[in-house]
Structure 1
Amino acid sequence: MTTLQRPQLNSLPPITWEKLPDDFNLPDEPVESNLQPLLASALRESLELAGLIVESMLIASNFGLCATVGDKTIVKAPDWVYVPSVQSLPVGEIRRSYTPHLEGDIPSIIIEFVSETEGGEYSINPHYPYGKWYFYEKILQVPIYAIFHPKTAELDVYRLVSGKYEQLLADENNQYWLEEIGLFLGIWLGKKAEMTTSWLRWWDQSRNLLLWGSELLEQERQRTESERQRAESERQRAEQAELKLEQLAQKLRDLGIDTETV
């Protein structure tokens, strides 16, 4: 168990960081739409394909984050969480929850997708079982908290400043620079998994969009097709040049000139 000495906020009981008991029943809340898991996997997919995920990281969705407040075990399962460094597990062991400080870093970024029963993502309930906002801000103290509204394609991003979340303003490209991951986060309208909707996407520091696997395949297909067309054009030019040479040789022969001696 690790105890974090921290000034008490709103009479918050002492916070300790304990491993979740093996017999603890994790909350089993179903996702409310088929879009939510797609949004989460799409965020991870582009990071992985860009080579930005290393073994020491923890990137997960609907995964229990734990803290003990007083004598109460608190578990929240954000829709998407990014932890830069965690302790490795023994070979074959599966991580069923994560306790910051005890098992590694605190999450750098948490993203919630607003569901049909909206409101929980903004909850500042300071009493057990604590609202999500309160848990991330006051207990875990996560540097970046983002809330995405899939229906309205709105994204709210907050940064922890002096123990309180302050809303960030999007830049001229309607994106947010997140130094914790070294990328821009923004909204992109398009198609993935046969679904055309608004997606959360990553852009690198040069504003290059981090691509999904299907986009990389399409990019490679276009490159291959472009090379095929270029090779075909070269073949046609060579054939045209050969034809012109033959036509010139024929004209010379018609004039009685021996092309073999020219």
Structure 2
Amino acid sequence: MLSFEFIIPYTPIPPPLVKGKITMTATVTQDYKITWEKLPDDYKLPDEPVDNINQPSLAAALTESLEFAGKLPQNALAPTNYGICATVNGKIVIKAPDWAYVPSIRVAREEVKRSYTPQLQGDMPVIVMEFISDTDGAEYSIKPTYPPGKWFFYERILKVPNYVIFEPDSGSIEVYRLHNSEQYLVQPPDENNRYWIAEMNLNLGVWQGTRENRTDYWLRWWDEQGQLLLWGSELAEQERQRAEQERQRAERLAAQLRAAGIEPEA
């Protein structure tokens, strides 16, 4: 079986306490053997329902604007609630972030229908997101024992450069940046309350408005020039307004010609 292997020492570093959520601490140091192996075809994936009713819409909105802006290459992967795998100390670990972005996969898409294994099948995700609706604090778990917590998995196993935790109901966003390839640190927003995602050359921020009959908070992308990446419905509305302005301009011109005694058709 083709695989890639790493052995890393780990001394757990607790994430910051956020909004009163309880996080565990640990004092032991342990070596973790990490391999990147294809998920067996007969492996039964966790069948967990989406725990946030807004998750599918939020994820689709993030992907759609990238696609319409031409910023979703053909070999990129933008999975939602989809298993990302690693084998830690001989045991398969799968976490399914609510949204993630992988710049490039190196295999046919048919090979990543069920799950995705970084290093083996393509690039490491450059960003993962969790949309939370409860208070169990799973997004902050640094539990190192099997099965490891989400925070531990993203920070210490996958080493994803950017980790976003978003509360759709309140619009609260936390963006963590991997420091020295070993620890997530809070990333402060810029003067526009946006966060620079260097690996994507885009800014991420919170926007309030309506999409798919949901009027609330959304995560949106802005380019380097500060231009909002539009959804398909917004592009269609923009085109409708352009066509309407052109129609009005043509009517004004026709009226001017008639006033001058000239038939527009002529």
TM-score, normalized by the shorter chain, greater than 0.5: yes
Q: Which secondary structure does the structure 1 equivalent of 2:8 belong to?
A: coil
1:135 maps to which residue? 153
- Counterpart of 1:69 (choices 75, 88, 104) is 88
C-alpha spacing 1:94/1:8, structure 2 compared with 1 (3 Å): closer
Deviations 1:133-157, CA, capped at 9 Å, x for gaps = 1100001100000110111101100
Deviations 1:142-182, CA, capped at 9 Å, x for gaps = 00001101111011001100210011001111111111101
Q: Which secondary structure does the structure 2 equivalent of 1:196 belong to?
A: strand
Q: Counterparts of 1:53 and 1:82 in 2: how far apart (Å)? A: 9
C-alpha displacement of 1:230? 0.5
Determine whether 1:78 maps to 2:97.
yes
C-alpha spacing 1:85/1:94, structure 2 compared with 1 (3 Å): closer
1:120 maps to which residue? 138
Segments of structure 2 that go 5 or more residues without pairing to the other structure are: 12-28
- On the 8 A contact 2:80/2:100 being kept in 1, the answer is yes
1:183 maps to which residue? 202
Determine whether 1:153 maps to 2:171.
yes
Determine whether 1:98 maps to 2:100.
no
2:22 maps to which residue? none
1:27-66 map, 5 Å: 27-66=46-85
1:22 maps to which residue? 41
Superposition RMSD in Å: 1.5
- On the 8 A contact 2:9/2:30 being kept in 1, the answer is no
1:4 maps to which residue? 6
- Which shifted more, 172-181 or 25-34? 25-34
- On the 8 A contact 2:37/2:87 being kept in 1, the answer is yes
Q: Which secondary structure does the structure 2 equivalent of 1:159 belong to?
A: strand
Deviations 1:23-65, CA, capped at 9 Å, x for gaps = 1111111112331100000000000011111122111101101
Determine whether 1:237 maps to 2:239.
no
Aligned residues: 242
Q: How high is the TM-score relative to the length of structure 2?
A: 0.87
C-alpha displacement of 1:104? 1.2
- Counterpart of 2:230 (choices 211, 223, 230) is 211
Q: Which secondary structure does the structure 1 equivalent of 2:249 belong to?
A: helix
Segments of structure 1 that go 5 or more residues without pairing to the other structure are: 244-262
Larger gyration radius, structure 1 or structure 2: 1
AA paired with 1:131?
G
Q: Which secondary structure does the structure 2 equivalent of 1:214 belong to?
A: helix
Deviations 1:103-127, CA, capped at 9 Å, x for gaps = 1111101011012254111111111
Q: Which secondary structure does the structure 2 equivalent of 1:180 belong to?
A: helix
Q: Counterparts of 2:40 and 2:190 in 1: how far apart (Å)? A: 44
Q: Counterparts of 1:20 and 1:33 in 2: how far apart (Å)? A: 27
Q: Counterparts of 2:54 and 2:255 in 1: how far apart (Å)? A: 49
Q: Which secondary structure does the structure 1 equivalent of 2:163 belong to?
A: strand
Q: Counterparts of 1:44 and 1:96 in 2: how far apart (Å)? A: 19
Q: How high is the TM-score relative to the length of structure 1?
A: 0.88
Q: Which secondary structure does the structure 1 equivalent of 2:157 belong to?
A: helix
- On the 8 A contact 1:89/1:95 being kept in 2, the answer is no
C-alpha displacement of 1:101? 1.1
Q: Counterparts of 1:33 and 1:104 in 2: how far apart (Å)? A: 29
